[in-house]
């Protein structure tokens, strides 16, 4: 969807480094989803954020939704090669639980 902007588009990091991926919406969100897609495979649901200021963690991945509910950041601590893939954010703008997706951020982690 053109309404969700993800940055950066791609990221290459050395194993062990921390990194952050951002997702910005032009409209207030009912919910913000984060998914991971391994290359050539389907998407895996990571977490959903609904409340302003909410923060959730999944293993070494932490995501936060800002107070205005228009931006979310996904942070990976001490990255590993297993974190490599495409991270997509999805916006639920109407409370339908049907996300509209951003274009994704491609992450490569070098051992």
Partner 1 sequence: NAGVTQTPKFQVLKTGQSMTLQCAQDMNHNSMYWYRQDPGMGLRLIYYSASEGTTDKGEVPNGYNVSRLNKREFSLRLESAAPSQTSVYFCASSEGQGQFFGPGTRLTVL
| Binding region for partner 1 (CB under 8 A) | 1, 31, 33, 40-45, 48, 88, 97-104
3-state helix, strand, coil in the chain (%, to 5): 5, 55, 40
**CB-wise, 79 or 105, nearer to partner 1?**
105
**CB-wise, 91 or 109, nearer to partner 1?**
91
**CB-wise, 1 or 18, nearer to partner 1?**
1
Cβ at position 19, least distance to partner 1 in Å: 21
Name the 3-class secondary structure at 81.
Answer: helix
**CB-wise, 71 or 100, nearer to partner 1?**
100
Cβ at position 105, least distance to partner 1 in Å: 11
Cβ at position 55, least distance to partner 1 in Å: 16
* H or E stretch covering 105: strand 105-110
**Residues forming a β-bridge with 74:** 21, 63
CA angle 77, 61, 40 (to 5 degrees): 110
Cβ at position 81, least distance to partner 1 in Å: 21
Give the C-alpha separation, 29 to 16, whole Å. Answer: 32
């Amino acid at each position: 969807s053109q309404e969700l902007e993800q940055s950066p588009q791609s990221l290459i990091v050395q194993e062990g480094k921390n990194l952050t991926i951002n997702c910005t919406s032009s409209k207030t969100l009912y919910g913000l989803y984060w998914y991971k897609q391994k290359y050539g495979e389907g998407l895996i649901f990571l977490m959903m954020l609904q409340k302003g200021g909410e923060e959730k963690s999944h293993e070494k991945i932490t995501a936060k939704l800002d107070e205005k509910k228009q931006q979310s950041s996904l942070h990976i601590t001490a990255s590993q090669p297993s974190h490599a893939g495409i991270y997509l954010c999805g916006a639920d703008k109407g409370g339908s639980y049907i996300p509209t997706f951003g274009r994704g951020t491609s992450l490569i982690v070098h051992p």
